[in-house]
Amino acid sequence: MTDTKQPRSHGTHRSAALLALAVGLPFLNKPFHIDDPVVLAVSAQVLQHPLRPLDGEINWDSDPIPLFKQTTNPPLLSYYLAPFIAVFGCSEVALHGAMLLFLVVLAVAAAELSRRFANRSWWPVLFVLTSPAVVVSSNVMRDVPAMALAAAAVAVFVRGTDDDRPWLLVAGSLLAGGAVLTKYSAAVLFPLLALYPLLRGRVRPLWALLPGAAAVGLWCLQNVWAHGVTHLQYLMAESRSQLAWQDQFYPGMAVIGACCFLTPALLAGTAASRSWWRVLVYGAAAPLVARGLRSHFLDPPPDGQCWLWSESGGLLIWALAAAFVLLTLRCLWLAARRTGDPAAEVAAQWRDELFLIAWLFAVVYFSVVYVMFQAVRHLLPAMAPLCLLGCRALQRVDRPVRLVSAGALTLCLAAQVVVSAWVAAADYQYADTYRQFVRTMAKALPVSRGRVWFAGHWGWQQYAQRAGWRQLETNGPQPHAGELVIIPERVHKGPMPPGLYPRLEEVSERTYRTRLRMFTMNGFCGASFYAVTGRNLPYLYTKDDTLEVFHVYRAGPRPTPNGEER
């Protein structure tokens, strides 16, 4: 399980890459969605002023503000996408095709990490790539790229440390720097990478972290030169979470439970082992998690889906933490007895386990403490250590129990694949609602017949602006009499311009419905894959079939200060 000298398997890496393509190819034509327009706006600015990527403006709430203040992450992904946009324009197929590279990197990195930490098992690779967190996140956003670069950084740096190859250490460091320049939350990588050689009593590999840190430092210098302050400093001052830790932690448990289906397999393996102390330790988690959920979701009490995902996530985290504690106690006991080789082997397992536990909880800690709200994308980097730890726990049981665990893992993986496909299809359909509506209305209401205004953001904003429609601003120009205003119900909208609604007369309404009955972003039913706050869940099955309702209004005359209308 912890043999650092296992040969690399290029065939496994190729198979993992093919699996990644199988996961990503069905979503090549997925509409732009959620934060995609922000990434594309930064790319457009890169094409105009390559050295000042955050100088442009975007209206992401009520009025245009600088990209430096709106975007919450650095622009490496936008730099990567800019050449594709220059050649192909904002083509969904071209840009999602470019994003496949990161999915392949993630798959190969997961295979390499499994070789090193999970005895070459395919289970971690399969559970990572088919997680709803990965499959649904097939957007033009920074989450999968940052996760892929982070996993690759760990895999390469660990390999460089084990084999004493300086060039691999430098490559891992640069990959870590690239992950941070894609998403700031990847900053937890640098202390994590330093931990790995230190656990082995080695200090020399630490020098290799300097190139990656220098890359991040250059970005900070650009910020000071262009804006007078680093982007990260500005965000930390403006965007630190004001929520209590419980309001971030319990939704995070729901995210983990809904995106990693390992809990039933761990419980099955524990039950089959007939180890009373494992059953006792793992079983103690159920009432503790339930009590925490009851106190958090006091009024009204959580429903079945909320219980399922939150309990599953809480039990999984508890089981992995408890497994590490038990391994630590065993390691100390063997060390005290000085039993020779067995103690050394357990100590090696303990070092690997500590490294993976530190990776997992560093991501969870950052997501709970330093972000404004919980979301699947914030916990996405935790999927790799989570799956590695879960599979390692199942490998430590006896061979007969492993057969039971393998059966349970097969059923869990099958369930995860079905749910991931279902949720991803629902997310695709919801995003496509805005693209379809704009295409239909742009033909029926060409801009030449009168200006069309709209309210709302996410992918809807991208398609409405592409059609030539004008976005409403709180303090900007307002619609003239006779002009059309389109306001969807369920998309995110900032404050409306004062006095707008009394002037509007509805002329038509269009409702888009679904047969899938699964939702990823619907505040009316509590589904919120991209912002899991309060009692919301990452995805939700409901009897509601309404995806979106578009209201088309005609603006009336505007009152003037002297009482006349125009």
Parse the chain into domains and list their residue ranges.
Answer: 1-239, 242-397, 426-555
Collapsing DSSP states into helix, strand and coil, what is residue 143? helix
Q: Is the pLDDT of residue 11 over 90?
A: no
pLDDT confidence tier of residue 242, bands split at 50, 70 and 90: low
Q: In this predicted model, what pLDDT tens digit does every residue of 379-399 receive, in sequence order? A: 999 999 999 998 888 876 666
Q: Is the pLDDT of residue 6 over 70?
A: no
**CA 244 – CA 373 distance, rounded (Å):** 10
Cα–Cα distances (Å) from 382 to 227, 245, 379, in that order, read 33, 18, 5
Q: In this predicted model, what pLDDT tens digit does every residue of 44-58 receive, in sequence order? A: 999 999 999 999 899
* Model confidence, pTM: 0.91
Give residues with Cβ within 8 angstroms of 410, minimum separation 6: none
| Higher pLDDT, residue 274 or 39 | 39
Q: In this predicted model, what pLDDT tens digit does every residue of 302-332 receive, in sequence order? A: 567 887 888 888 888 887 887 777 777 777 7
Cα dihedral sign for 201, 202, 203, 208?
Answer: negative
Mean pLDDT of 339-347: 66
- What angle, rounded to 10 degrees, do the helices at 36-48 and 76-88 form? 80
Mean pLDDT of 488-495: 89
Tokens of 36: 């995609």
Mean pLDDT of 238-256: 75
pLDDT confidence tier of residue 275, bands split at 50, 70 and 90: low
Tokens of 114: 């499994």
**CA 157 – CA 169 distance, rounded (Å):** 5
pLDDT confidence tier of residue 248, bands split at 50, 70 and 90: confident
Tokens of 347: 């100590």
**pLDDT of res. 243:** 66
Give residues with Cβ within 8 angstroms of 298, minimum separation 6: none
Q: What is the mean pLDDT of the chain?
A: 85
Q: In this predicted model, what pLDDT tens digit does every residue of 137-154 receive, in sequence order? A: 989 999 999 999 999 999
Q: Is the pLDDT of residue 564 over 60?
A: no
Mean pLDDT of 231-241: 75
Mean pLDDT of 278-294: 64
Phi-psi region of 535 (alpha: psi -120 to 50; beta: other; left: phi over 0): alpha
54-63, 75-84, 172-181, range with the lowest pLDDT: 54-63
Cβ pair 490, 522 in contact under 8 A: yes
Mean pLDDT of 439-452: 73
Tokens of 225: 């030169």
**pLDDT of res. 424:** 95
**pLDDT of res. 117:** 92
**CA 331 – CA 427 distance, rounded (Å):** 46
Amino acid (1-letter code) at residue 556: G
Mean pLDDT of 345-359: 85
Q: In this predicted model, what pLDDT tens digit does every residue of 291-304 receive, in sequence order? A: 666 656 544 445 67
Cα–Cα distances (Å) from 39 to 71, 76, 368, 418, 504, in that order, read 8, 10, 24, 30, 33
Q: What is the 3-state secondary structure (H, E, C) of 228-296?
A: CCCHHHHHHHHHCCCCCHHHHHHHHHHHHHHHCCCHHHHHHHHHHHCCHHHHHHHHCHHHHHHHHHHHH
Mean pLDDT of 369-380: 86
